[in-house]
A = this chain, B = another copy of it.
Amino acid sequence: MSTLHEECGVFGVFSQTRRPVAALTYYGLFALQHRGQESCGIVVGDDGLFRDHKDVGLVGQVFSPAVLNDLGSGTMAVGHVRYSTTGGDGRLNAQPIVVNHNKGRMALAHNGNLTNAYELRTQLEMTGSIFHTTSDTEVISYIITKERLTAPSIERAVDRAMDTLQGAYSLVIMSPAKLLAARDPFGLRPLCYGVTEDGTYVVASESCALDAVGAKFVRDVMPGEILVFEQEGVRSLSRHCGTRPHSVCVFEYLYFARPDSIIDGASVHAARLQAGRFLAQEHPVEADVVIGVPDSGLDAAMGYAEASGIPYRMGFIKNKYIARTFIQPDQSDRESKVKLKLNPIQAVVKDKRVVLVDDSIVRGTTSGQIVHLLRLAGAKEVHMMSSAPAFLNPCYYGVDVDSKENLIAVKYSVEEIARHIGADSLGYLSVEHACQIAVSGNAGGFCTACFSGEYPAGVPKYDRKSRFEQKLSERQKEEDEAQ
């Protein structure tokens, strides 16, 4: 039950013939909803015309049947779900963004975060460019547009732009006639594609979205690769492939991605089971029952149970109605929401020594409340296990990790945290084991920066601690005073 937020999920469709691509994208975005719940959007490409709809809200709220009907059929579509990290207007920053330029139009959906967005934006502004949003996605579209002035094709423009763009990006781009999928050379964020029985190509952040639309998984987009979907079929541009060490975000396996997805060849579900098994090796305890925090802690809890031989049980009932409609009517009782969301099953935990597995511990507040609920339900001992290593560093590649002062592991030792959350003992998965969970995969390596502090793709030059938007806002403040 983490409070970390992935910023985005992307989706794209390319068909040789006119099809209800808006509906297809709607289904795909539903399957990617966990990657972003603030806003979403779909752009349909229909014989060179673009029709789009974006708004703040969940996929099912933003896209009514009437809206989907208006978006209609076409040969291509790009979709996006977003969790906004900025305080700004969520609607303004909703994606995909659509821009009109010298050679026509372009729709662009982006998952990730540039590390040189600030420098690029400043350079663009020096030549008279204007910006409507605070998002680095607008920077990407400018860079591609500039290259497009001289590049012979949209894919060549993207290829050249990748010489300039730094950081994490999985992109789906639609021109009037082509659909592109591009992934940064480190492969920090996932991206894959598949094909349906009738030959429609589908690109998605995760394979679970391919399943949702009945598309067969073909393969992951390789780090640094650009795929071009066009009337003639699929082409690959691979000039940037292999130029950087493969560094897919390990937290995708541990928390963000859906367990039924396969990322860079490794099953997310299997990775979580394995994380639980490693946890049992690293932190063996004598206990009567292993329970997980629903839903994302359940897989690792099963892995722990399997490796330890301690029985696995359902320890909590989760109120499924809370998630989307609950608004706390008063502020008097800060624990209420966790209490309403999770109710321990007394029959399972009463008078028992309990191993409690959660996906991560960020601030420690939620963990403390959950341990407290178990104590009230009669648990004799509570041994907390985090299937993610301890968070110690910010992420510059597209995850909204809490600011350093809020990360409990930065301030306290493991023993202190255990005491703080009221657990009898506490264990984190080690970074070493975290890098071994995706055993069956073809991933060459992982980004573990938030745990280890080693940033494969570097950190923003101007400001290691703050974010792109904060930088922008400071600069504007200075300029305002100067003006």
Give me the interface of A with B, judged by CB distance under 8 Å: 20, 22-23, 26-27, 30-31, 33-34, 37, 47-49, 52, 58-61, 63-65, 68-69, 89, 97-105, 125-132, 134, 141-142, 145-146, 148-149, 154, 175-177, 208, 211-212, 214, 258-260, 262, 267, 269-270, 295, 298-299, 302, 312-314, 316-330, 336, 339-340, 343-348, 472, 476-477, 479-481, 483
B residues near A58, Cβ cutoff 8 Å: 321, 325
Q: In the complex, A298→B64 CA distance in Å?
A: 32
Task: Write 11 A-B pairs (CB below 8 A) sorted by A numbering.
Answer: A23-B329, A26-B329, A58-B325, A101-B125, A102-B126, A212-B339, A214-B339, A260-B316, A267-B346, A295-B320, A302-B314
From residue A31, how far is it (CB to closest CB) to chain B in Å? Answer: 6
Could you tell me if A323 and B326 are in contact, using CB atoms closer than 8 angstroms? no
Bound-state Cα–Cα, A141 to B260, Å: 48
Residue of B nearest to A47 (CB): B480
Q: A267-B346, A269-B345, A476-B176 known; A98 and B128 CB under 8 Å? A: no
Distance in angstroms between the alpha carbons of A336 and B214 in the assembled complex: 9
Given contacts A104-B476, A211-B339, 15 further A-B contacts (CB under 8 A): A20-B330, A27-B340, A60-B324, A61-B325, A99-B132, A100-B132, A100-B134, A127-B127, A128-B149, A211-B343, A212-B339, A260-B346, A269-B347, A320-B320, A324-B325
Determine the chain B residues whose CB is within 8 A of the CB of A270 once the complex forms. 347
A327 CB contacts on chain B under 8 angstroms: 60, 64-65
The closest CB in chain B to the CB of A339 belongs to B212
- B319, A30: Cβ atoms closer than 8 Å: yes
Q: Is the CB of B340 within 8 A of A104?
A: no
Q: Within 8 Å CB of A299, what residues of B?
A: 314
**Oligomeric state, in number of copies?**
4
Partner of A483, one of B103, B131, B344: B103
* Contact B480 A30, beta carbon cutoff 8 Å: no
9 smallest beta-carbon distances between A and B, as pairs: A60-B325, A48-B480, A176-B480, A102-B125, A99-B130, A100-B131, A260-B317, A128-B146, A33-B321
* Closest chain B residue, CB of each to CB of A106: B130
- Given A146-B128, A267-B347, A320-B295, A480 and B326 touching (CB < 8 A)? no
Most B C-beta atoms less than 10 A away, residue of A30, A103, A329: A329
A159 vs chain B, min Cβ distance (A): 16
- Which of chain B's residues has its CB closest to A26's CB? B329
Q: How far does the alpha carbon of A68 sit from the alpha carbon of B319 in the complex, in Å?
A: 21
> With A125-B102, A131-B99 as given contacts, are A323 and B325 in contact (CB-CB < 8 Å)?
no
A348 neighbours in B (Cβ, 8 Å): 269
Given known pairs A312-B312, A320-B295, the reply for A103 and B479 (CB within 8 Å) is yes
Cα A382 to Cα B267 in complex, Å, equals 22
Q: Smallest CB–CB gap between A384 and chain B, Å?
A: 21
Task: List, in ascending order, chain B residues with CB within 8 A of A37's CB.
Answer: 321
| B-chain residues with CB within 8 Å of residue A321 when the two chains form the complex | 30, 33-34, 37, 58-60, 324
Task: Select from chain B the residue with minimum beta-carbon distance to A347.
Answer: B267
**Least CB distance, A300 to chain B, in whole angstroms:** 11
What B residues does A125 contact at CB under 8 A?
100-102
Residues B326 and A30 in contact, CB atoms below 8 Å apart: yes
Contact B329–A63 (Cβ < 8 Å): yes
- Contact between chains at A314 and B259 (CB < 8 Å): yes
User: Are A267's CB and B476's CB within 8 A?
Assistant: no
Residues of B within 8 A of A480 (CB): 47-48, 104, 176-177
